[in-house]
């Protein structure tokens, strides 16, 4: 999730760059074409504006590929900066154009690519210094190189610091503060992405609704602080059991949890849910209000192989129906929604109207 948030941040900055590029390059091409003669007659800024428009259109269609093309966009910017350095007038120092380069590339490329582009910018800067018409003194060259390296370092540090803050905020926004598992707000986004992923890969998706038995009695008997401790321990047991890459644990509300897992058959899904139930029973937490005298949990699940018409609300509703059957059956049990009698609750595929 945090990487996805940084990914969206990079995409937003790239979209801003593209809009700025069009707003600057189009008028500039007209100025060069009709008022200020340049070797390219204004065609290079025009081509750059068209390239930015095309890339912006691609981002509306698919935000993934344009980010992979961000390196090409950076290369075009560098070429234009070098070109601008050589056609700029004597009153504007040519090196100033290249100084802008670190600010341009740092926010839109992946962190592992930034060192490469910093070195590329340094080589470009050196070429501008060496090939400029008037040779620089050693002191001037040192000042310019130091300024470039300082600007590059500061820019990279600021961008990385900003990304770390975005990751921290994203992490806080999706984590339940008490149990340290994912919160209900993140469940909807994850369900949508998991449905799409399992649909593409032709995998099953299992949704599990799990509820701690007699939790109200436990709170009344031992106090809410003890109840909070029980929630933390149960969440820890669930996270310990659900450790595969495609496993997610959410606190759905109160003492209820939702677990997502994929690529399991119905029998494997039942065994997985049973493992979750037994893991909570094995905590051996005292609960005098329960017939079992310890904390137990009931669970209902639905393992779906055909996800072509399935909606997130349908998955949750059917798994929740199975959970209620497990509680009606005496609690501390696991119920598969597909095992419910035909006269019982019919499977729901579409979203329930709000």
Whether residue 319 sits in one domain with residue 249: yes
Q: Do both 248 and 327 map to the same domain?
A: yes
Eight-state DSSP code of residue 214: T
> Lowest-pLDDT range, 28-37, 92-101, 309-318?
92-101
CB 259 within 8 A of CB 244: no
Confirm whether 352 is domain-assigned: no
- Does residue 349 fall inside a structural domain? no
DSSP assignment of 90-136 equals TTS-HHHHHHTHHHHHTTTS-HHHHHHHHHHHHHHHHHHHHHSSSPP
Q: Who's near 258: CB < 8 A, 6+ residues apart? A: 184, 187, 207, 208, 209, 210, 249, 250, 252, 316, 319
Residues 159 and 248 in one domain: no
242 confidence band (pLDDT: 50, 70, 90): very high
Range in 3-12, 155-164, 325-334 the model is least confident about: 3-12
Whether 348 maps to a domain, the answer reads no
Last residue of a domain, one of 156, 174, 192: 174
Which of 174, 204, 229 terminates a domain? The answer is 174
Residues in Cβ contact with 207 at an 8 Å cutoff, skipping those fewer than 6 apart: 191, 258, 259, 260, 301, 302, 304, 315, 316, 318, 319
Tell me, yes or no, whether 345 lies in a domain: no
Q: Is the residue at 205 inside a domain?
A: yes
Q: Are residues 13 and 154 in the same domain?
A: yes
Whether residue 193 is found in the same domain as residue 313? yes
Q: Which structural domain, as residue segments, surrounds residue 151?
A: 2-174
Asked if residue 46 and residue 192 are part of one domain, the reply reads: no
Q: Are residues 134 and 197 in the same domain?
A: no
- Helical ranges in the chain per DSSP H: 2-34, 43-61, 64-68, 70-87, 94-99, 101-105, 111-131, 138-174, 184-201, 215-222, 224-241, 266-281, 312-328
Q: What is the CATH number of the domain that holds 311?
A: 3.30.70.270
pLDDT tens across 8-49, in order?
888 888 889 999 999 999 998 998 888 888 888 889 999 999
Report if residue 283 sits inside a domain.
Answer: yes
* In a shared domain, residues 39 and 95: yes
The pLDDT score that the predictor gives to residue 345 is 46
Same domain? For 167 and 51 the reply is yes
Residue whose structure tokens are 């340094």: 122
How many domains, the chain? 2
Query: What's residue 144's pLDDT?
Result: 80
At 298, phi and psi to the nearest 5?
Answer: -110, 150
pLDDT of the residue at 63? 54
Last residue of a domain, one of 123, 156, 174: 174
C-alpha span between 262 and 277 (Å, rounded): 18
Question: What b/e string do you get for 177-199 counting C-beta neighbours within 10 Å, with b at 16 or more?
Answer: eebebbbeebbeebbeebbeebe
| Secondary structure of residue 1 in the 3-state scheme | coil
Q: Where in the sequence numbering do the catalytic residues fall?
A: 255
Question: What is the model's pTM?
Answer: 0.65
Burial of 252 (C-beta count, 10 Å sphere; 0-12/13-18/19+): buried
Both 7 and 142 in one domain: the answer is: yes
On average, the pLDDT of the chain sits at 86
Once rounded to an integer, what is the mean pLDDT over residues 236-253? 94
Judged by average pLDDT, the poorest of 1-10, 154-163, 178-187 is 1-10
Q: Are residues 241 and 288 in the same domain?
A: yes
Both 24 and 161 in one domain: the answer is yes
Res 254 pLDDT > 50: yes
């Amino acid at each position: 999730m945090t990487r996805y948030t940084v990914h969206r941040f990079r995409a937003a900055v790239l979209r801003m760059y593209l809009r700025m590029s069009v707003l600057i390059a189009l008028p500039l091409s007209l100025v060069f074409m009709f008022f200020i003669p340049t070797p390219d007659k204004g065609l290079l800024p025009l081509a750059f504006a068209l390239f930015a428009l095309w890339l912006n259109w691609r981002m509306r269609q698919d935000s993934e590929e344009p980010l992979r093309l961000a390196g090409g966009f950076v290369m075009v910017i560098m070429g234009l900066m070098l070109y601008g350095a050589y056609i700029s007038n004597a009153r504007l120092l040519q090196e100033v154009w290249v100084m802008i380069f670190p600010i341009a590339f740092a926010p839109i490329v992946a962190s592992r690519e930034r060192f490469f582009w910093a070195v590329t910018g340094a080589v470009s800067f050196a070429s501008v210094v060496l090939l400029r018409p008037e040779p620089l003194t050693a002191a001037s060259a040192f000042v310019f190189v130091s300024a470039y390296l300082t600007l590059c370092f500061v820019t990279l540090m600021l961008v990385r610091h900003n990304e770390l803050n975005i990751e921290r905020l994203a992490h806080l926004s999706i984590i339940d503060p008490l149990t340290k598992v994912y919160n209900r707000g993140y469940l909807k986004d994850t369900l949508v992405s998991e449905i799409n992923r399992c649909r593409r890969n032709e995998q099953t998706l299992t949704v599990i609704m799990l509820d701690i038995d007699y939790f109200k009695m436990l709170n009344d008997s031992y106090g809410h602080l003890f109840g909070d401790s029980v929630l933390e321990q149960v969440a820890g047991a669930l996270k310990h059991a659900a450790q595969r890459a495609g496993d997610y644990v959410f606190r759905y509300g109160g003492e209820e949890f939702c677990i997502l897992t994929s690529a399991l058959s119905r029998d494997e899904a039942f065994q997985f849910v049973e493992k979750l139930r037994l893991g909570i029973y094995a905590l051996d937490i005292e609960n005098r209000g329960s017939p079992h005298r310890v904390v137990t949990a009931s669970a209902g699940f639905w393992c779906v192989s055909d996800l072509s018409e399935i909606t997130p609300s349908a998955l949750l509703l059917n798994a929740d129906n199975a959970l209620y059957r497990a509680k009606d059956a005496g609690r501390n049990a696991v119920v598969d929604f597909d095992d419910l009698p035909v006269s019982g609750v019919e499977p729901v595929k579409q979203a329930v109207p709000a």
